[in-house]
Structure 1
Amino acid sequence: MTWHEINDVIVITLPENFDMNANLGYLTREKNECMYEIENDTITKIIAIGENRSLVQVSVINNEQMVVQFLNESKPSEKWQREEIVKYIHEWFDLDNDLTPFFEMAKADPLLKMPARKFYGLRVIGIPDLFEALCWGVLGQQINLAFAYSLKKQFVEGFGDSIEWNGKKYWVFPSYERIAQLTPTDLADIKMTVRKSEYIIGIARLMASGEFSREKLMKMNFKEAEKYLIKIRGIGPWTANYVLMRCLRFQTAFPIDDVGLINSIKILNNMNRKPTKDEILEISLPWKNWESYATFYLWRVLY
């Protein structure tokens, strides 16, 4: 991680194959997003490190440097906390990953060459917080994206913390400690099924008990982590792979039954029917070890 500080600003050196416009294109795809705000190519967001809440603005200069400014006197005084913020941003934008082999592979791939050219420099945008990633996976099950975003907004505004700045509220995702103390009745105002409420509270309780954590999963290989997640009530193969891809950064994560992935392949191949699972497995053979990036780029074709 290469970064330095100038007064109250952190400057992070960006890797090659990074394009902020491609990433902003993804981040602005949904108007109802409640975890950050984007204006004039600048992201405003709270980054929580333990109990510490920092309201930051993130912008990029020439795709070479990422500038992190602290608002509202929320700069942490301890250097290790600022280091954790840099680490969070690296996780969020997958900055430690050299994408050169992915672009080499994609250039020659009949399905990926167009998205890789069009969205060049896009990273798999991460959700570094495991509880947030799992909740988002559960909330998004079997509903359209717009409805999933409205559920997330209700959940965050109902149970998360916020910082007010310039007349606007910025939110922190609810902590698993808080959600672990609730019952499905407490979530009744949110327009999700009782079952989803049960799943989310169950996951929060598992995490609060200490038997389930990001650190624990990171010690496992991909197959072990996938198996472990699928054993948890409310997490099927799709949610497990989604979380393995966006939070735990397993590049082989591949939500093969994903509707968006299936539709994207259908569109790009001009098919008048959905591709079968076997067809997708065959198409994806060249993507080995880059399945998560291939999926993310194919999703991007749809909106």
Structure 2
Amino acid sequence: MLRLPVPEEFSFAENVKYLSRSSNECLSRIGNQRLYKAVSLESGAIPVMEISAEGSKALKVRFLGGTAPIRKRDREEVARYVRDWFDLDTDLRPFYEMARRDALLQGTVDSFYGLRNIGIPDLFEALAWGIIGQQINLAFAYTLKRRLVEQFGRHVDCEGERYFVFPSARDIAGLTVQDLEGIRMTRNKSEYLLGTAQLIASGELTKEGLRASGEVKAAEKQLVGIRGIGPWTANYVLMRCLRMPDAFPVDDVGLQNAVKHVLGMDRKPAAKELLAWAEGWKPWLSYATFYLWRVLY
């Protein structure tokens, strides 16, 4: 078992609510305020985690069905994954101080206090989810993800349940468009997914390389140079995977709808209006976006 301290500005319940937003989620499940998820480690092991709150001070990670990692480095990798997934190492106090002075954000931080920008630590998974979600509704995006995961991801059977992990870039890089026909994704998206997988599997595209770019615009430019990745997908990945605080998907329909809802507008705000409001959110654009998205669920 692992015990991971959490900051005061963390609510396990709020994060579980966010993770339960779709009944079609295939990579984790929730029951009795416990979160269950398998995670693929560098060693090839796939431990199954049961994550629960230990009061307000810590998370407890229990391993199910004899899947507990034995090696210290594997346990440390699990701990890093959970801390990254819940963004536990970010100090949210400055964000909350800013948000409580902002007309658009003040209600969100009171409603969702302790919510973290739930991450997607694996770069290929983050990019794949961004590609899958392009120009379709969220419900269908979850269906496509499930088909991809169940057909090409690995799994472990544990205590009567099957737990999947997202296919790795290497798992996908050697496939063809024809191999992906069964999941009913468009040909273009299949090509984008395969091309991205090949870049990551070859080592040409890495989290370290994106971080080394130094700032969000340079990282965005690197990503949008890849076929099938536009500014929305790039900023989504920089938010959820790279944790760049000033990543901002200004063209996101969900963000536009959230602002429209909060302000009672009869239309979606224009990009220039969002950019004007966002001036006051710096350097917390990612968290401002994430909290506004939460208004819609």
TM-score (structure 2 length as normaliser): 0.98
Which residue among 1, 4, 7 is the counterpart of 1:12?
4
SS at match of 2:47: strand
Question: 1:91 & 1:229 partners in 2: Cα distance?
Answer: 21
Residue 284 of structure 1: how far off its partner (Å): 1.3
Contact 2:25–2:146, Cα closer than 8 Å, also in 1: yes
Tell me the residue number matched to 1:270.
264
CA distance in structure 1 between the partners assigned to 2:279 and 2:12 by the alignment: 29
Among the aligned pairs, what percent are the same residue? 52
Query: Following the alignment from structure 2 to structure 1, what is the Cα–Cα distance between the partners of residues 116 and 211?
Result: 20
Look up the match of 1:113: 106
Instruction: Identify the match of residue 257 of structure 1 among 231, 251, 273.
Output: 251
Residues 168-247 of structure 1: pairs in structure 2 closer than 5 A: 168-221=161-214, 222-247=216-241
Q: What secondary structure sits across from 1:57 in the alignment?
A: strand
Aligned partners of 1:35 and 1:166: how far apart in 2?
Answer: 16
2:281 alignment partner AA: W
Residues 255-282 of structure 1 deviation map (CA, whole Å, 9 limit, x = unaligned): 0000000011111111111111111111
String of CA shifts for 1:19-45, please: whole Å, max 9, x gaps.
Answer: 111101100010000001100111111
More displaced stretch, 99-108 vs 277-286: 277-286
| Structure 2 residue matching 1:249: 3-state secondary structure | coil
**In structure 2, how many angstroms separate the alpha carbons of the residues matched to 1:163 and 1:299?**
32
Q: Give yes or no for contact 2:64–2:159 (8 Å, CA) kept in 1.
A: no
Q: CA deviation at 1:178?
A: 1.4
Amino acid paired to 1:295: T
For 1:64 and 1:241, locate their aligned partners in 2 and report how far apart those are by CA, in whole Å: 32
Q: Which residue in the other structure is 1:286 paired with?
A: 280
Alignment match, 2:144: 151
Displacement after TM superposition at 1:167 (Å): 2.1
Alignment pair present for 1:78 and 2:71: yes
1:165 to 155, 158, 166: 158
2: CA distance between counterparts of 1:177 and 1:298? 35
Q: In structure 1, how many angstroms separate the alpha carbons of the residues matched to 2:280 and 2:171?
A: 44
How far 1:154 moved relative to its partner? Answer: 0.3
Which residue, out of 63, 81, 92, partners 2:85? 92
Which one of 30, 33, 36 corresponds to residue 38 of structure 1? 30
Whole-Å Cα distance in 2 between the matches of residues 276 and 207 of structure 1? 35
Equivalences, count: 295
Q: 277-286 or 232-241, which moves further after superposition?
A: 277-286
Aligned match of 2:58: 65
Runs of 4+ in 1 over 4 A off after TM superposition: none
Aligned mates of 2:97, 2:157 — CA distance in 1: 45
What whole-Å deviation, never above 9, does each CA across 1:149-186 have from its counterpart, x for those lacking one? Answer: 00000000000000011222100100111101100100
What corresponds to 1:3 in structure 2?
Answer: none
Greater CA deviation, 264-273 or 252-261? 264-273
- Report the Cα offset of residue 79 of structure 1: 0.7
TM-score, normalised via structure 1 length: 0.96
Whole-angstrom distance in 1 between the partners of 2:16 and 2:290: 14
- Name whichever structure is richer in strand by fraction: 1
Distance 1:301 1:135 in 2: 25
Which residue identity does 1:157 align to in structure 2?
E
Offset from partner CA, 1:164-221 (integer Å, 9 cap, x none): 1122210010011110110010000112101101100100111111111112212222
- Which moved further from structure 2: 40-49 or 247-256? 40-49
Cα RMSD for the two superposed structures = 0.8
Instruction: Work out the CA distance in 1 between the residues paired with 2:171 and 2:115.
Output: 34
- Residue aligning to 1:22: 14
1:260 counterpart letter in structure 2: G
Alpha-carbon distance in 1 for matches of 2:184, 2:128 = 15
**Secondary structure in 1 matching 2:46:** strand
